[in-house]
């Protein structure tokens, strides 16, 4: 029996996920408009509150308002709550409720959780949710302790602890929100903080399923194809990205105000890590070379791993496309890797994702080239950087975000939402009933070849 036949409501699980994220964003937006959550005591315009709530829930980090200057402690707590919910998935809230009340998780909830985690079935769903909760809390707590070691001596006990907690959660969830005002530019010469934040970003962006496989490897002595592919692509991009930035930025001499080779290397490594959906930055991207900007856009588009706190096309999707290309060049019919054959349906889904997402980002960039005013000496890369950053839920910017027009803000909000929820989830949620009618005939049209290449 498939999931659709067991679903008792008029909306499908995939539609519930899209609506759930939308509901959380709307609720957070209403709260952030209240004067009681701002430092000035004045209400926040709804469009800016909506932008902030979307950015937090979709763990992006793009902001039209400076978090530390505009929002008071209450507003920052709301943003942090939205980051946590968005990073771990909104279905974590009802799961925690069932766990605290010691109630059995029903079939409907299991179906929605399975859809939200992109799992093939319902087996092991509850066990995985318990693992995600324990892993996330443990890693965020460890990150907060490590950051507190540096922050408490600098900012005092109260502020240091709050800064450590906020940035640990924000980094693990790949959100990129900061309380310093200039992200981590002030920590260019602090390799310790950059490495701790990098570790949190990697942990959150690698994927909970991958971590579960790694933790069980001692007993099972094997990894799933998903984990092997995710680890291979992630490590390769991390190493290759660091080398590219080190070369393109001449070892960081022109963008890092520190003569220490270790600190310069830490910044180049951080650029490679954070471009894959984190959003923190330790350098001014206005001074980064054109080659560095272009490569950052590529990394932002690829993003993190499926089933993680990250967004973007996903490393596994990119890996499947790369494997398919290599297999075809070898003259093989199917995509093969790690002594396994990847299902044709997975390859088809990857190709569809790549085409739709790339087309969407280019289309939004074209519209924004009309609606937005480019600064002098800036070209189309200024808009491409913002667009791919929003879709990849990265949060990096070359300075365009605060000056976005109303249309620009709405477009970026839509991209952040699609990037976090998933383009196929949003698309299927809008066309589910049409798809069901179209598939009701159970027939196949005649085949015919087309010349390509």
| Sequence-ordered strand ranges (E) for 226-346 | 336-337, 340-341
Task: Please report how many Cα atoms fall inside a 13 Å half-sphere around the Cα of residue 380, on the Cβ side.
Answer: 9
Determine the length of the chain: 453
pLDDT for the residue numbered 339: 86
For residue 442, is it within any domain? no
For residue 44, is it within any domain? yes
Share of the chain above pLDDT 90, in %: 48
- pLDDT of 3 above 50: no
pLDDT for the residue numbered 17: 75
For residue 117, is it within any domain? no
DSSP reduced 3-state for 200: helix
- pLDDT of 419 above 80: yes
Confidence tier at 219 by pLDDT (50, 70, 90): confident
Whose CA is closest to 411, among 360, 374, 375, 373?
360
Helix count and strand count (H, E) for the chain: 19, 2
For residue 242, is it within any domain? yes
pLDDT digits (tens, 9 = 90+) for 167-187: 999 999 999 899 998 899 999
Count how many domains the chain has: 1
For residue 46, is it within any domain? yes
pLDDT digits (tens, 9 = 90+) for 322-356: 999 999 898 888 888 888 899 988 899 899 889 99
pLDDT for the residue numbered 5: 46
Report CA 269 to chain centroid distance, whole Å.
19
For residue 109, is it within any domain? no
- pLDDT of 440 above 60: no
For residue 394, is it within any domain? yes
For the segment 156-170, the average pLDDT, to the nearest whole number, is 96
**pTM of the complete model:** 0.87
Confidence tier at 425 by pLDDT (50, 70, 90): low
As a 3-state breakdown, the chain gives helix, strand, coil percent values, each rounded to 5, of 65, 0, 30
For residue 19, is it within any domain? yes
User: 277 exposed, middle or buried (CB, 10 Å; 0-12, 13-18, 19+)?
Assistant: buried
Range of the domain at 266: 13-102+125-428
Share of the chain above pLDDT 70, in %: 83
Lowest mean pLDDT among 121-125, 296-300, 368-372: 121-125
Across the chain, what does the average pLDDT equal? 85
Task: List, as one string, the DSSP characters of 91-156.
Answer: THHHHHHHHHTT-PPPHHHHHHHHHHTT-SSSTTHHHHHHHHHHHHHHHHHHHHHHHHHHHHHHH-
Read off the tokens for 406. 């109303």
User: 349 exposed, middle or buried (CB, 10 Å; 0-12, 13-18, 19+)?
Assistant: middle
């Amino acid at each position: 029996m498939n999931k659709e036949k067991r679903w008792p409501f008029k909306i499908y699980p995939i539609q519930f996920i899209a609506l759930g994220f939308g509901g959380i964003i709307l609720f957070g937006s209403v709260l952030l408009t209240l004067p009681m959550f701002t430092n000035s005591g004045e209400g926040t315009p709804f469009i800016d509150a909506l932008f902030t709530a979307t950015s937090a829930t979709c763990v992006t980090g793009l902001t039209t308002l400076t978090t530390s200057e505009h929002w008071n402690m209450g507003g920052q707590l709301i943003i942090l709550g939205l980051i946590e919910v968005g990073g771990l998935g909104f279905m974590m809230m009802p799961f925690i409720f069932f766990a605290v009340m010691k109630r059995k998780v029903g079939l409907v909830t299991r179906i929605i959780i399975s859809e939200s985690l992109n799992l093939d079935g319902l087996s092991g769903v509850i066990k995985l949710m318990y693992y995600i909760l324990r892993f996330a809390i443990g890693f965020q707590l460890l990150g907060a302790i490590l950051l507190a070691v540096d922050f408490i001596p600098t900012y005092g006990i109260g502020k240091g602890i709050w800064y450590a907690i906020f940035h640990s959660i924000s980094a693990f969830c790949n959100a990129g929100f900061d309380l310093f005002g200039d992200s981590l530019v002030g920590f260019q010469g602090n390799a310790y903080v950059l490495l701790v934040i990098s570790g949190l970003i990697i942990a959150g962006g690698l994927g909970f399923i991958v971590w579960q496989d790694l933790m069980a490897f001692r007993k099972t002595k094997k990894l799933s194809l998903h984990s092997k592919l995710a680890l291979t692509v992630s490590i390769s991009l991390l190493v290759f990205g660091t080398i590219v930035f080190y070369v393109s930025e001449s070892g960081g001499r022109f963008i890092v105000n520190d003569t220490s080779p270790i600190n310069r290397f830490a910044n180049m490594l951080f650029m490679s890590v954070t471009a894959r959906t984190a959003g923190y930055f330790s350098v001014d991207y206005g001074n980064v070379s054109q080659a560095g900007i272009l490569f950052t856009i590529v990394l932002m588009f690829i993003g993190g791993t499926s089933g993680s706190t990250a967004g973007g096309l996903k490393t596994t999707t990119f890996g499947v496309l790369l494997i398919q290309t290599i297999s075809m060049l070898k003259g093989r019919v199917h995509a093969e890797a790690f002594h396994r054959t990847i299902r044709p349906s997975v390859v088809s889904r990857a190709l569809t994702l790549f085409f739709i997402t790339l087309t969407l980002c280019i289309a939004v960039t074209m519209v924004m080239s009309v609606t937005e005013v480019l600064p002098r000496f800036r070209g189309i890369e200024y808009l491409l950087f913002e667009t791919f950053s929003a879709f990849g839920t990265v949060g990096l910017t070359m300075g365009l975000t605060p000056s976005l027009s109303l249309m620009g803000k709405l477009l970026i909000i839509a991209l952040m939402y699609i990037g976090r929820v998933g383009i196929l989830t949003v698309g299927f949620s809008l066309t589910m009933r049409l798809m069901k009618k179209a598939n009701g005939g159970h027939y196949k049209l005649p085949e015919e070849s087309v010349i390509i290449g």
